[in-house]
């Protein structure tokens, strides 16, 4: 009995110490490799709290981001839509940002100052991030709100353009309002992934009008409830920046260096998605079976997303489907029938579930030198 009490005391003490450490560690952190020349910053730039129509305090958003191993977030509260204002009156629209900054000051998390300009169609909902003051952006006319955001050097992106409340058909409608904003340099990006929705029509608009490709959670409740407990990761935008800093991230977004990610779904321009996928898969082993022309290749997935591939070579696989999945942080062993022993070969795989254009998946290649 005494031994049991001692063990129980040790366990309770360790739990107390862990709670006091305040590390926000998660068992399912998001992880993606850097690409040549850039750091891959994990960001979620569309988030809500009780200071608009969300259900949690801003410090919870910071803790969730730390648990998910994010590099940056933006609390983009609706400027015009304030359903909790009776209980939480706040004439200063910067209040949510200020609370988040205070919570994050001892952590390596960038808090991007942002707000959401909320109007009905055709203007729709748009996030302005990297702003300096949310209050002047609250204007009666939508055109004036965008003009003020540009004055503050904000990066502005169009939220959920395929949302059925804005477009009954579920397809984005590029109105004269958006065309004018793009022409004036007041609209720079578009969400192709919002929450669990991917719209290839939004991707088509991004490519046609050179808009930065974005993916966001648009979270209102808890990340755990809406994503983690359902076996999913939150949607994010990978921003390829020269360094981890606010200014470098802003430069990268204006330059369009992004990939939107939701679980194994990745969407981006080929010049950024292809090197990301190539860096995500490492060749751990390549060796011919004895007395055969079959080379065994062990592939390692270094990311937190399970990735699906299809054989894109003339060579076929031995004892394997041409379509296969490499689980997150896991390995997969391919056996390729090369018909003769080769000193080197090119492993070419189509990355199914990733898109560089509507219904277009990239083919990624690795040079293999068998042992």
DSSP reduced 3-state for 73:
strand
Q: What is the mean pLDDT of residues 337-348?
A: 96
Contact 130, 154 (CB under 8 A): yes
pLDDT digits (tens, 9 = 90+) for 143-191: 999 999 999 999 999 999 988 777 777 789 999 999 999 999 999 999 9
Alpha carbon distance 178, 169 (integer Å): 18
* Tokens encoding 276: 């990301």
Q: Which of 299, 311, 288 is nearest to 370 (CA)?
A: 288
pTM over 0.85: yes
* Tokens encoding 239: 């921003």
DSSP state of 289: P
- What are the CA-CA distances from residue 25 to residues 30, 64, 164 (Å)? 12, 10, 37
Say whether pLDDT at 360 is over 70.
yes
pLDDT of amino acid 279: 98
Distance of CA 302 to the CA centre of its chain: 16
* Tokens encoding 333: 């062993």
Beta strands 72-75 and 110-112 are: parallel
Say whether pLDDT at 34 is over 50.
yes
Say whether pLDDT at 13 is over 60.
no
Q: What is the mean pLDDT of residues 191-208?
A: 97
Q: Which of 127, 155, 128 is nearest to 256 (CA)?
A: 155
Backbone phi and psi for residue 153, each to the nearest 5 degrees, phi listed first: 60, 35
Residues 312, 314, 320, 321: is their CA dihedral positive or negative? Answer: positive
pLDDT of amino acid 27: 61
Alpha carbon distance 153, 256 (integer Å): 16
- Strand-pairing partners, residue 349, are 311, 364
Contact 104, 77 (CB under 8 A): no
Q: What is the mean pLDDT of residues 35-40?
A: 98
DSSP state of 239: E
Contact 135, 94 (CB under 8 A): yes
- Strand-pairing partners, residue 35, are 38
Count the neighbouring beta carbons within 10 Å of the beta carbon of residue 11. 10
* 294-301, strands of its sheet edge to edge: 281-288, 294-301, 331-337, 316-317
DSSP state of 233: P
Could you give all domains of the chain from N- to C-terminal order, each with its CATH number? 26-268 (3.20.20.140), 279-368 (2.60.40)
Count the neighbouring beta carbons within 10 Å of the beta carbon of residue 81. 14
pLDDT of amino acid 11: 42
């Amino acid at each position: 009995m005494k031994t049991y009490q001692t063990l129980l005391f040790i366990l309770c003490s360790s739990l107390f110490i862990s709670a006091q450490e305040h590390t926000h560690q998660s068992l399912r952190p998001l992880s993606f490799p850097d690409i040549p020349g850039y750091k891959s910053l994990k960001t979620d730039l569309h988030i809500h709290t009780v200071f608009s129509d969300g259900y949690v305090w801003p410090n919870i958003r910071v803790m969730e981001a730390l648990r998910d191993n994010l590099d940056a977030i933006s609390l983009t509260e609706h400027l015009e839509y304030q359903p909790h204002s009776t209980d939480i009156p706040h004439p200063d629209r910067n209040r949510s940002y200020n609370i988040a900054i205070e919570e994050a000051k001892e952590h390596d998390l960038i808090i991007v100052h942002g707000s959401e300009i909320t109007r009905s169609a055709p203007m729709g909902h748009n996030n302005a991030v990297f702003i300096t003051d949310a209050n002047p952006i609250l204007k009666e006319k939508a055109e004036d709100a965008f003009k003020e955001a540009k004055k503050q050097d904000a990066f502005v992106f169009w939220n959920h353009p395929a949302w059925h409340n804005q477009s009954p058909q579920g397809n984005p409608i590029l109105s004269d309002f958006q065309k004018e904003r793009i022409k004036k340099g007041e609209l720079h990006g578009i969400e192709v992934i919002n929450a669990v929705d991917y719209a290839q029509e939004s991707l088509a608009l991004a490519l046609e009008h050179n808009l930065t490709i974005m993916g966001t959670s648009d979270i209102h409740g808890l990340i755990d409830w809406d994503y983690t407990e359902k076996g999913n990761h939150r949607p994010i935008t990978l921003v390829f920046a020269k360094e981890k800093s606010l200014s470098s991230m802003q430069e990268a977004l204006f330059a369009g260096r992004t990939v939107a990610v939701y679980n194994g779904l990745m969407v981006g321009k080929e010049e950024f998605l292809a090197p990301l996928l190539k860096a995500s898969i490492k060749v751990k082993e390549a060796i011919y079976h004895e007395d055969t022309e079959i080379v065994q290749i062990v592939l390692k997935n270094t990311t937190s997303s399970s990735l699906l591939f299809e054989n894109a070579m003339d060579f076929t696989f031995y004892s394997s489907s041409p379509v296969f999945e490499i689980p997150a942080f896991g390995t997969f062993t391919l056996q390729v029938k090369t018909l003769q022993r080769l000193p080197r070969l090119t492993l070419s795989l189509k990355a199914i579930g990733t898109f560089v254009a509507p219904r277009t998946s990239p083919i990624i290649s690795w040079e293999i030198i068998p042992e």
